[in-house]
Chain A
Amino acid sequence: MKNESFKKGIKDGIPIGLGYLAVSFTFGMMSVSSGLSIWQAVLISLTNLTSAGQFAGLDIIVAGGSYWEMALTQLVINLRYCLMSFSLSQKMRRDEPWAHRYLVAFGITDEIFGVSASQEGKVSAFYNYGAMCMAIPGWTLGTLLGAISGSLLPDFIMSALGVAIYGMFLAVIISPAKKNKAVLLVVVAAMAVSTLFAVVPGLNKVSSGFVIIITTLVTAGGAAYLCPVKEDEVHES
């Protein structure tokens, strides 16, 4: 069972690792061109494992902002992990030792959360470990490669890899949206709200972390009010 979960996690983690490789490559390049050492860039990726937060953090380091500003920015941008972590707290198997949760928590990223939330029934910590085994090396190695050389991969490969993560997100959300009208509503509404934030003057100044938090609260909250889920549906998902 553990073995099976771990293998499934690794399989689902492959596209995550590939996508991370491309995104973190950019982070590595930017870090070094901003004056950080290769080692510092890699250390940030290894200890943070988050995209938006790291890019924002890099800006603050370069600008010489205060440590408080750093803490607050990370809090706001990464607040969505709080929602995901809470959601996972209900989703994780209860018969596995609680200590696993401290490790699983480190690997709560948008993508790993996405795949583990899409598993049927309760999810094992070993599934998350499998996904983390692909995601963490992908993220760290990509940073290292980007930091060492910005011109290692040709542009057209980088460009194509750029959509890998989104393709995966769509694979996670479209299938349930086909079967459940309320989920379809949530997906369409969330895309519409985040598009508003991208195009409406004034709203487009809101940082990407906040946009995700606000959109999630509004659309998931609205859907929970309008179409509360029946008991068995929650367990099936």
Chain B
Amino acid sequence: MSHNVYIYILVMAGVTYLIRVLPITLAKKEIVNPYIKSFLYYVPYACLAAMTFPAILSATASRISAVAGFGAALIAAYKEKSLLTVALIACGAVFIVERIMAFL
């Protein structure tokens, strides 16, 4: 580590904040173009879906418990449970499946 750690941190934090702050503060007008509006409407769903799958399959100690967590979350989300409930049900499913696997 020949460079200064604090300058690294400053660069990281600075670049990351600029990316976050420029669009939200500079885009003053309401967008009227229907294509851009539609695109922005779909962005969160595309982004969250891309981050969730397949990453969720390797988020736990075993693939089997991850699949259980994924399935449980899908069912709970389909039943319109709240964010916290869905998250806890997914955690619970992983926990239970891993406990069962420990006995096999």
Q: Please give the residue numbers on chain A whose beta carbons come within 8 Å of chain B beta carbons, in ascending order.
A: 11-12, 14-15, 18-19, 35-36, 40, 43-44, 47-50, 53-54, 57, 60-62, 64, 66-67, 70-71, 74-75, 78-90, 92, 98, 101-102, 104-106, 108, 110, 113-115, 117-118, 155-156, 159-178, 182-183, 186-191, 193-195, 198-199, 208, 211-212, 215-216, 219-221, 223-225, 227-229, 231, 233-234, 237
Contacts and interface: CB of A to CB of B under 8 A. Distances in A.
Contact of A195 (B15, B16, B53): B53
Interface in B46-98: 46-56, 59-62, 65-66, 69-70, 72-74, 76-78, 80-92, 94-95, 98
A44 B7 CA distance: 11
Contacts of A67: 3, 7-8, 11
Given A84-B44, A216-B46, A71 B61 contact: no
Top 9 closest pairs, chain A to chain B, by CB: A167-B90, A174-B77, A190-B49, A224-B38, A171-B86, A47-B13, A220-B42, A105-B21, A85-B23
Interface in B18-47: 19-27, 30-31, 34-47
A74 B15 CA distance: 7
Nearest to B55: A166
Contacts of A191: 49-50, 52-54
A77 B38 CA distance: 24
Contact of A84 (B2, B43, B92): B43
B12 interface: yes
Given A50-B16, A190-B50, A224-B39, A167 B73 contact: yes
Contact of A64 (B1, B9, B91): B1
Interface size class of B (residues with CB under 8 A): 35 or more
B83 A54 contact: no
A236 to B, nearest CB: 10
Nearest to B94: A160
Most buried by B among A11, A183, A186, A227: A186
Nearest to A198: B54
Most chain B CB within 10 A, of A36, A62, A165, is at A165
Contact of B59 (A57, A162, A170, A171): A162
A21 to B, nearest CB: 12
Given A54-B12, A166-B90, A187-B45, A220 B39 contact: yes
B104 interface: no
A163 B59 contact: yes
Given A74-B15, A163-B60, A195-B54, A234 B41 contact: yes
